[in-house]
Structure formats: structure tokens, C-alpha cells
């Protein structure tokens, strides 16, 4: 089954402009580990039918989110071993990790830097101060992200609490080596995708991590379901648009992450429920239609896109990730081109950066926002919220990021392997 243009008709709520500085947002990593330095048709589109059990809106087990990095990242409080930190909420990766106290910092080329350069929001997680931490010997944590950041280090088990939901003996990464371009607020990440995407390996040398010695484990929410501490096997995400000034580092009350329910925001009656696409190779991470393929991301098939002023832009069945850890939408080339032509004046493609730039006072078509920031000379520049993700070919993976998620509540059901998207009322 494939997701047709109806999913994108859900995002015709208000558009907005807000400030950003960094235009390159995090993209999904390959399952291939980093080499670190040696030191479909909708299943339900009915009025009032969301695919979510009635009466599940609740503040119980609901985490309040805040924005950071000029609202390019969404954070919440995560308590591990009695220590509380800000962590990025990421549906595009699976590991829960906190930087370890005493870590070593590197830049993206692998050269050593001061710990301040990595921009974490704390000195790190002190495993020795946790009464419940237990080390996992003879293994290592090793992850890389699409923007070049990477981390590696020890692994352990501890009690993890988020939004009032607590699990025991949760496997976590405690990296002591990091190449990270942080926001000076977060100290880690809460990954919410599938176990096949986790990043623990049966080796103490992170440079020898490979698909052959990969050891999958249950991520935080999967553990919560298995331990029976959450009633329903789904979580829901509501990301609010921010309105930061360039000098602000934190933006409070920017949404909710609800475990086993839906967040306390006002919803429309329009919703769509579609299956999560299973087409990834367990060994390479590439899109696959073979029977042994596994879930990695929350991926759906998108058959076409429509927006005001255009005819429907059809696509081949493709893998499109719904990813809270990516700021922009990265869509097939012809979709991005057709959409960005709807700005008045039209967006212009910068060949050097590969990004569509627009006038900051341009008329914005539905299904996007403007993201404003500064160039190297300090001039205000704006880019489209929908960018070119590459040609519409089976090996490419596309992303519906925060620009899309601002206008909907997305509900991820790990038991039925379905994604429900419900339109939010204008806010």
C-alpha cells in the first residue's frame, strides 16, 4: 500500500517564518558504522477516524518538548540513573545515549578539540554516580549521522525515565569520544526507531564495528511496551513551530511526546493511517523488497504530491522517512522543483549548496515554512522548507522532517507497524 497525495493535503495549516543559522540538518545514518579516529493507499481517511483508540489524550506519560539550536532540534528531559539531561527527540534513529563525563571531543575531520567545542549542555553522564548503572563489557557503542557527526564508547544498562514513563535495565550508549556540533543545551539523544537501527557492536574497538558484529537491542519505547509500563503500544508526537530570535538558544513549550496516548493539542477530524514500509536489507541498510528485509525507520510509500497552484506530481513508490531529527523535507527532485516554483517570487536553486533559497518576504505556498538565517557575511537569508532529496530512484531515501510535522500529530504504532497522521487545527 502506498501513501497518496492526501497525506500532504494535511499540512495546509498556517505557514510561518522562523530563524535558523545552520541549514544542513541531521540526516539518517547508514547502518554501516562510522570509522572513528584511532586514538501506498491510505488505510483510513474518514471524518473522525484517526486510527487511535478513543480517550487516549492524556498528560500521563507525556513529555514536554523545547526547541534548541534556533528551533532546529526538539529536546526533552531524560533522567538516567537519577541524573537529568536534555536530549534530542529523534524518530530517525534508535539509540538512547548520553555523553559520558570525561569524554574526548573531536571535530568532524577527526582532529582533537577542546570539550567545549562539541557544545554539549553538561559535563556528561557520571556512570559511577548512578546507583543503578551496570556496564555491558566487551562491546562498544558506535554511531554516525548524516551530517558527519559521530560518537563511540562504552555501553551499559540503567533506569531511564522520560515524561513520567520509566523502564529498568534499558541498554544505553555512554560515548566517551564525540565529534558533535552541539547547541550547548543537549547532552544526548532519545532514539525512537526500530531495534535493527541500534548501534552496539560485539567488539571493544569501535574501528572494527561492522554489520557482522552488530548486536541489536530494544530501544526505550520498545522496552516500555515489553515491560508493560505503558498501556498502548504507540507514541505520538506534536511539534510546534518556533519563533526564535537569532540570539536565543532555548525555546520552551514547543510540543509534546506522548507515550501510549496522544498529546493535548487541538486536532482536526482528518486523519490517515498507513503501514510502515518494511523494505530495508538487514545487512546493508539499503531499500529492499526481499522477504528477509527488516524495519529500520518509520518509512512510508508516497505515490504523489499536490499543492495549490500545481497539478499532482506523481512519484514512483519510494521510501520516505518521517523523521523528527531532520529539520527540512527532502523530497524527489521533480517534487522539490515543482513545489519551489510556487513561491512568489520563485525560489532559486543555489548550485553550490544545492539548496533552494527564497526572498524572505516571498509569498509562501502551503506545505512549507520559510527558515531564515544569516550567510557568512551576516546577511539575512531564507531557504525553502522543502529541498531536493535526489532523483526518484529505488536506492534513494526521502524525508518528511519537522517542516511537515509542525502541522500534524504523528502516531507511531510499534505493534501494528502503522503510522497515523492527524491534521492539527491552525495554531
- The separation between CA 210 and the C-alpha centre of its own chain, rounded to angstroms, equals 23
323 is catalytic: yes
* HEC-encoded secondary structure of 27-90: CCCCCCCCCCCCCCCCCECECCECCCCCCCECCCCEEEEEEECCCCEEEEEEEECCEEEEEEEE
Helix ranges (DSSP H) in 59-168 = none
Looking up cell 526507531 gives: 193
Q: Measured in Å, how far apart are the chain's first and last C-alpha atoms? A: 32
Smallest CA-to-CA distance from 65 within 43, 81, 89 is with 89
Look up residue 327 and give its three cell numbers.
529539520
Give the three-state DSSP class for 243. Answer: coil
SS3 415: coil
In the block, which residue shows the cell 541549514? 23
Q: Give backbone dihedrals phi and psi of 220, rounded to 5 degrees, phi first.
A: -50, -55
Choosing from 90, 251, 388, 392, which is the catalytic residue?
A: 90
Q: Residue 223 and residue 85: Cα distance in Å, rounded? A: 20
Contact present, 195 and 92 (Cβ < 8 Å)? no
Cα 329 from Cα 398, distance rounded (Å): 8
CA dihedral 101→107→110→115, nearest 10 degrees, is -20
**Catalytic member of 158, 323, 392, 402:** 323
Which grid cell is 213?
558484529
Buried b (16+ CB within 10 A) or exposed e, 109-126: eeeeeeeebbbbbbebbb
What are the catalytic residues?
90, 323
Amino acid at each position: 500500500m502506498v501513501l497518496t497525495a492526501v497525506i500532504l493535503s494535511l499540512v495546509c495549516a498556517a505557514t510561518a517564518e522562523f530563524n535558523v543559522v545552520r541549514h544542513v540538518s541531521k540526516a539518517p545514518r547508514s547502518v554501516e558504522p562510522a570509522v572513528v579516529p584511532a586514538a501506498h493507499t491510505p488505510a483510513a481517511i474518514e471524518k473522525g477516524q484517526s486510527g487511535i483508540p478513543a480517550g487516549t489524550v492524556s498528560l500521563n506519560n507525556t513529555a514536554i518538548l523545547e526547541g534548541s539550536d534556533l528551533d532546529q532540534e526538539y529536546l526533552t528531559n531524560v533522567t538516567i540513573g537519577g541524573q537529568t539531561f536534555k536530549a534530542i527527540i529523534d524518530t530517525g534513529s534508535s539509540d538512547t545515549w548520553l555523553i559520558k563525563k570525561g569524554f574526548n571531543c573531536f571535530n568532524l575531520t577527526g582532529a582533537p578539540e577542546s570539550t567545549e567545542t562539541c557544545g554539549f549542555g553538561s559535563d556528561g553522564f557520571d556512570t559511577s554516580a548512578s546507583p543503578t548503572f551496570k556496564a555491558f563489557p566487551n562491546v562498544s557503542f558506535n554511531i554516525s549521522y548524516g551530517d558527519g557527526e559521530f560518537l563511540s564508547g562504552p555501553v551499559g544498562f540503567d533506569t531511564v525515565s522520560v515524561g513520567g514513563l520509566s523502564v529498568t535495565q534499558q541498554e544505553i550508549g555512554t560515548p566517551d569520544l564525540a565529534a558533535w556540533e552541539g547547541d550547548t543545551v543537549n547532552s544526548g539523544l532519545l532514539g525512537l526507531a526500530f531495534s535493527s537501527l541500534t548501534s552496539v557492536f560485539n567488539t571493544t574497538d569501535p574501528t572494527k564495528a561492522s554489520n557482522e558484529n552488530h548486536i541489536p537491542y530494544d530501544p526505550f519505547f520498545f522496552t516500555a511496551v515489553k515491560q508493560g509500563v505503558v498501556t498502548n503500544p504507540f507514541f505520538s508526537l506534536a511539534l510546534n513551530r518556533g519563533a526564535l530570535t537569532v540570539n536565543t538558544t532555548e525555546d520552551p513549550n514547543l510540543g509534546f511526546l506522548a507515550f501510549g496516548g496522544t498529546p493535548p493539542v487541538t486536532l482536526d477530524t482528518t486523519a490517515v493511517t498507513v503501514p510502515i514500509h518494511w523494505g530495508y536489507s538487514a545487512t546493508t541498510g539499503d531499500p529492499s523488497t526481499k522477504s528477509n528485509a527488516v524495519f529500520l525507520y518509520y518509512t512510508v510509500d508516497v505515490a504523489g504530491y499536490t499543492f495549490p497552484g500545481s497539478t499532482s506530481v506523481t512519484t514512483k513508490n519510494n521510501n520516505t522517512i518521517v523523521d523528527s531529527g531532520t529539520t527540512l523535507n527532502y523530497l524527489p527532485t521533480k517534487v522539490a522543483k515543482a513545489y519551489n516554483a510556487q513561491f512568489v517570487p520563485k525560489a532559486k536553486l543555489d548550485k553550490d549548496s544545492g539548496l533552494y533559497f527564497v526572498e524572505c518576504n516571498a509569498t509562501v505556498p502551503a506545505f512549507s515554512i520559510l527558515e531564515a538565517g544569516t550567510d557568512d557575511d551576516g546577511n539575512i537569508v531564507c531557504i525553502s522548507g522543502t529541498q531536493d532529496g535526489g532523483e526518484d530512484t529505488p536506492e534513494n531515501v526521502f524525508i518528511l522532517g519537522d517542516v511537515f510535522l509542525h502541522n500534524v500529530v504523528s502516531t507511531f504504532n510499534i505493534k501494528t507497524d502503522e503510522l497515523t497522521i492527524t491534521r492539527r487545527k491552525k495554531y
